[in-house]
Chain A
Amino acid sequence: DVQMTQSPSNLSVFIGDTVTITCRANQNIGPWLAWYQIKPGRAPKLLIFKASSLESGVPSRFSGSRSGTQFTLTINNLQPEDFATYYCQEYGTNSRIFGQGTKVEIK
């Protein structure tokens, strides 16, 4: 079964910092990975699909990349509205597994 390992689980950062979150799959899932942002009490939001495609309306400070089975979400120049929890999700298998989540907090 596919497993997604997301790291780190928590990040404490300053506004303006660059944030890097990683998801690693234990098998080949191709480019089929998405990143979502969740804030308490709000509807989750799609940020990136197909590893590196930016969803319409998402600020360009968000970007995604892939190297083999490792996927990275990068947020440049972190803004106050970016403090949230981020999840990756693979859709290269029928399991559609989410990563464990990364909570980005203000330092």
Chain B
Amino acid sequence: QVQLVESGGGVVQPLMSLRLSCAASGFAFNSYAFYWVRQAPGKGLEWVGLISFDGINQYFSASVKGRFTMSRDDSSNTVYLHMNRLSPDDTGIYYCARAPPRDGYNTLDSWGQGTLVSVSS
């Protein structure tokens, strides 16, 4: 069955870097775009970024643009979120989600359970 498993979260100091991983299984990985969505403690959902099905294009929210990048490894069915210059505002649960071709790869039809990132000194 479709599975997305995030890992790599933890406690990190401000201005440090962290890499999150999203291991996918149970479907044709290279047919999907992937998103990262986060939820700060007690807050709502916030789209963070996306990487296209072919890895050529990436887009990010204004709050992380220039600090975060994404990559994908189709040989291991893994998507990565590379987070740099982290701030306490980046604290939250980070979800990985896949987007099928319908609707231009914009709807998230399967999600992981999330990994917690805490940025604190």
Contacts and interface: CB of A to CB of B under 8 A. Distances in A.
Interface of A: 32, 34, 36, 38, 41-46, 49-50, 55, 87, 89, 91, 94-101
Q: Decide if the interface of chain A is mainly helix, strand, loop or mixed.
A: loop
A46 B107 contact: yes
B45 to A, nearest CB: 4
A101 B95 CA distance: 16
Interface size class of B (residues with CB under 8 A): 20 to 34
A32 B44 contact: no
B45 A43 contact: no
Contacts of A100: 44
Q: Decide if the interface of chain B is mainly helix, strand, loop or mixed.
A: mixed
A27 to B, nearest CB: 17
Given A36-B108, A44-B95, A55-B109, A91 B45 contact: no
A77 B41 CA distance: 31
Nearest to B109: A46
Nearest to B95: A44
B7 to A, nearest CB: 14
Interface string B37-52: 1000000111100000
A101 B61 CA distance: 19
A43 B44 contact: no
Given A46-B107, A98-B44, 16 more contacts: A34-B107, A34-B108, A41-B113, A42-B113, A43-B95, A44-B45, A44-B95, A45-B111, A49-B102, A87-B44, A89-B47, A91-B107, A94-B59, A95-B61, A96-B47, A98-B46
B107 A43 contact: no
B25 interface: no
